[in-house]
């Protein structure tokens, strides 16, 4: 299934860490020598894969989670310390900063993974729900990054945003979510420019369709007709879409965690990591980017010729890969 195509006007929590201060555990088996990383929304799904992958590869992970039982489970993972962290509550963010400082490990990496999903017809989704989505997906990332920036700067470290292919394209029934992910794309570029002077790299991982348990309750709500009203002009398409979501199968987000590891460890990390499970999604994202370029070039006095655009693309490919592309 296409994760971006398959969602509904329901609210889905993607690994959000919520509640009060911290739940600490002496769980460092590295002798205190590993680089420390904070992963928000680490209780399940992509966030848990990231936390486990980093912990297994020499990092000490402060893992944000919402429930006490999730924090307890995270504390059982070697080199992981569970933290109560709601990215919408400044006092909890401040408490997390204090705990990381008190640990004496510093902070080399910040992985902004916590996020939520609202989908449905853009002209029908309630504004209050959209505000909630932005409070987590955009302002939550902004709050956490501001709070931990001094520690990251001290360690000349790395920041990785977990975005989505929805941040590069606008999809039917994903208007609010796509808006928030486009914001993360823009924030990544601005932050990268501003942090460069401190020797800090910033990357965004645009993830495609991978396994998650986030659909269960919302698919049930959709099938109970609690999402789109029966008289909505979108009702038939929406419920056909929900049936498709319910029957879809996804692979584990191992590649997403690997991309994060590269963003934290590579000598020259990429600004963008596109991580998709198949060629179809790759074509979907890249063709959308090319179409947008063509639309922006448009028909005005400053338009580039086809040859000029081709040369710009070739130059960008060379700058990204370090390899001069072959001529046709």
Q: What is the pTM of this model?
A: 0.87
- For 223, other C-beta atoms within 10 Å of its C-beta total 14
DSSP output for 132-197: HHHHHHTHHHHHHHHHHHHHHHHTT-EEEEEEEGGGTS--TTBHHHHHHHHHHHHHHHHHHHHHGG
240 contacts: CB under 8 Å, gap ≥ 6: none
The per-residue pLDDT of the chain, averaged, comes to 86
With contact defined as beta carbons under 8 Å apart, do 262 and 201 qualify?
no
Is 273 one of the annotated active-site residues of the chain?
Answer: no
What tokens does 74 get?
Answer: 């995270």
pLDDT at 227: 73
Out of 22-31, 183-192, 276-285, give the one with best mean pLDDT.
183-192
Compare 42 and 1 and report the one with higher pLDDT: 42
- DSSP lists the bridge partners of residue 200 as none
- For 279, other C-beta atoms within 10 Å of its C-beta total 8
With contact defined as beta carbons under 8 Å apart, do 205 and 162 qualify?
yes
pLDDT at 66: 83
Domain spanning 11-278, CATH architecture: 3-Layer(aba) Sandwich (3.40)
Compare 173 and 212 and report the one with higher pLDDT: 173
With contact defined as beta carbons under 8 Å apart, do 222 and 239 qualify?
yes
Task: Indicate the range of 54-58, 70-74, 271-275, 322-326 predicted with least confidence.
Answer: 322-326
Banded model confidence at residue 8, pLDDT cuts 50, 70, 90 = very low
What tokens does 71 get?
Answer: 């924090």
Among the listed residues 23, 59, 177, 210, the single catalytic one is: 177
**DSSP state, residue 303:** P
**DSSP state, residue 80:** E
Domain ranges of the chain: 11-278
Across 54-78, average pLDDT: 94
301 contacts: CB under 8 Å, gap ≥ 6: none
d(C-alpha 303, C-alpha 300), whole Å: 6
pLDDT of 15 strictly over 50: no
């Amino acid at each position: 299934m296409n994760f971006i195509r398959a969602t509904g006007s329901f609210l889905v929590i993607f690994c959000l860490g919520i509640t009060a201060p911290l739940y600490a555990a002496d769980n460092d088996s590295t002798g205190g020598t590993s680089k420390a990383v904070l992963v928000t929304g680490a209780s399940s799904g992509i966030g848990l894969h990231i936390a486990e992958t980093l912990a297994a590869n020499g990092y000490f992970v402060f893992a944000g989670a919402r429930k006490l039982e999730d924090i307890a489970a995270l504390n059982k993972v070697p080199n992981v310390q569970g933290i109560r962290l709601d990215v919408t509550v400044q006092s909890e963010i401040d408490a997390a900063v204090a705990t990381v400082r008190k640990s004496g490990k510093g902070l080399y990496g910040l992985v902004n993974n916590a996020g939520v999903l609202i989908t449905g017809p853009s002209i029908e989704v309630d504004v209050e729900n959209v505000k909630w989505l932005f409070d987590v997906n955009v302002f939550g990332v902004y709050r956490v990054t501001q709070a931990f920036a001094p520690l990251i700067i001290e360690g000349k470290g790395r920041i990785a945003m977990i975005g989505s292919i929805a941040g590069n394209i606008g999809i039917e029934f994903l208007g609010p979510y796509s808006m928030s992910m486009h914001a993360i794309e823009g924030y990544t570029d601005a932050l990268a420019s501003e942090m460069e002077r401190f020797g800090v790299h910033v990357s965004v991982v645009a993830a495609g369709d991978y396994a998650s348990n986030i659909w269960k309750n919302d698919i049930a709500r959709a099938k109970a007709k609690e999402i789109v009203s029966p008289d909505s002009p979108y009702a038939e398409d929406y419920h056909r879409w929900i049936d498709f979501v319910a029957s879809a199968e996804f692979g584990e987000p191992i590649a997403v965690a690997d991309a994060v590891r590269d963003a934290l460890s590579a000598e020259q990390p990429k600004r963008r990591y596109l991580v998709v499970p198949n060629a179809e999604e790759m074509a979907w994202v890249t063709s959308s980017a090319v179409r947008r370029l063509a639309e922006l070039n448009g028909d005005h006095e400053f338009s580039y010729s086809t040859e000029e655009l081709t040369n710009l693309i070739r130059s960008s490919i060379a700058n990204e890969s370090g390899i001069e592309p072959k001529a046709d």
